[in-house]
Structure 1
């Protein structure tokens, strides 16, 4: 049985440190939104990490090429 709302949002049961939850409530924070923001940041960071890992061979090749031959079109740079 899945707890998904018509809006596409899913109800979850989370376990969080009590002191942190109490402080967040005292500050008037919306716990659902705060957890969502943290999860969005974690997902974005992991996607970036995986993209960098998948593209590492190109980065290494390009860096070696620049070291050997210099920057492409460097003669046209204005700075």
Structure 2
């Protein structure tokens, strides 16, 4: 996912539940920071869900190959799996 931490801020118009907004202000919450953090988390979650979906076949093919052929450098491991 592209790095978003240092991106500049941009104004946006939002419609929020008025009672929740009033309570948030009463509690001293920084609404912009809260919405920004929650939106960032949701975007990141959806980005990786979409990435996994788009790459599902390649991941399945890779896992099947490893299951079939083993890890490419397994012979050079300094520890051994004990069955």
TM-aligned CA distance change 1:8 to 1:36, over 3 Å: closer
Bigger share in helix: 1
RMSD: 2.1
In the TM superposition, what whole-angstrom CA distance separates every residue of 1:19-77 from its partner, at most 9, and x where no partner exists?
A: 4751x334322001100111111111111111111111110001111111111111111
Q: Report the TM-score when normalising by structure 1.
A: 0.74
CA distance in 2 between partners of 1:54 and 1:70 (Å): 25
**Residue correspondences, number:** 72
Query: Structure 2: which 5+ residue stretches go unaligned?
Result: 1-7
CA distance in 2 between partners of 1:67 and 1:17 (Å): 55
Q: Report the TM-score when normalising by structure 2.
A: 0.71
Aligned to 2:11: 10
List, as ranges, runs of 4+ consecutive aligned residues in structure 1 with deviation greater than 4 Å: none
Query: Structure 1: which 5+ residue stretches go unaligned?
Result: 1-6
Task: Flag the structure with more relative contact order, 1 or 2, with Cα contacts below 8 A and sequence separation at least 6.
Answer: 2
Aligned to 1:65: 65
Aligned to 1:3: none
